[in-house]
Amino acid sequence: MNSNMSPENPKYKLIFLGDQGVGKSCILNRFLNDTFEEEYQATIGLDFQSKNVQIDNQDIHLLLYDTAGQEKFRSLIPMYTRDADIILLVYDISNKDSFSNLSQWLKDLTNVNMDEVILCIIGNKKDLSGNRVVNEEEGQKFAEEHDFIFQEISAKTGEGFSDLFYKQLFEKIRTKFRPSGQQPVSEINDIKFNIDQEDNKKSTKRKCC
Ligand X SMILES: Nc1nc2c(ncn2[C@@H]2O[C@H](COP(=O)(O)OP(=O)(O)O)[C@@H](O)[C@H]2O)c(=O)[nH]1
Which residues are near Mg ion by CB under 5 A?
Answer: 24-25, 43, 209
Q: Decide if residue 40 touches ligand X (CB under 6 A).
A: yes
Q: State the nearest-atom distance from the C-beta of 142 to Mg ion, in Å.
A: 22
Of the residues 49, 50, 95, 124, which one makes contact with ligand X according to CB under 6 A: 124
Cα distances from 112 to residues 82, 115, 162, in angstroms, run 6, 9, 27
Q: Which does 22 bind (CB under 5 to 8 A by kind): ligand X, Mg ion, none?
A: ligand X
Q: Decide if residue 20 touches ligand X (CB under 6 A).
A: yes
Residues 6+ apart with CB under 8 A from 149: 118, 119, 120, 121, 143, 164, 168, 169, 172
Q: How many residues bind ligand X (CB under 6 A)?
A: 19
Q: Decide if residue 25 touches ligand X (CB under 6 A).
A: yes
Q: State the nearest-atom distance from the C-beta of 150 to ligand X, in Å.
A: 16
Q: Which window, 47-55, 137-145, 151-159, 198-206, contacts ligand X (CB under 6 A)?
A: 151-159
CA gap 32, 90 in Å, rounded: 17
Of the residues 59, 108, 127, 187, which one makes contact with ligand X according to CB under 6 A: 127
Q: State the nearest-atom distance from the C-beta of 26 to Mg ion, in Å.
A: 8
Q: Decide if residue 151 touches ligand X (CB under 6 A).
A: no
Footprint of ligand X on 63-92 (CB under 6 A): 69
Q: State the nearest-atom distance from the C-beta of 13 to ligand X, in Å.
A: 18
Task: Give me the DSSP letters along the chain.
Answer: --TT--TTS-EEEEEEES-TTSSHHHHHHHHHHS-------PPPSEEEEEEEEEETTEEEEEEEEEEP-SHHHHTTHHHHHTT-SEEEEEEETT-HHHHHTHHHHHHT-TTS-TTTSEEEEEEE-TT-GGG--S-HHHHHHHHHHHT-EEEE--TTT-TTHIIIIIIIIHHHIIIII-TTS---S----S------HHHHHH--S----
Q: Which does 40 bind (CB under 5 to 8 A by kind): Mg ion, ligand X, none?
A: ligand X
Of the residues 154, 160, 164, 173, which one makes contact with ligand X according to CB under 6 A: 154
Q: Which does 184 bind (CB under 5 to 8 A by kind): ligand X, Mg ion, none?
A: none
Residues at the site binding ligand X, with contacts judged by CB under 6 A: 20-26, 38, 40, 43, 69, 124-125, 127-128, 154-156, 209
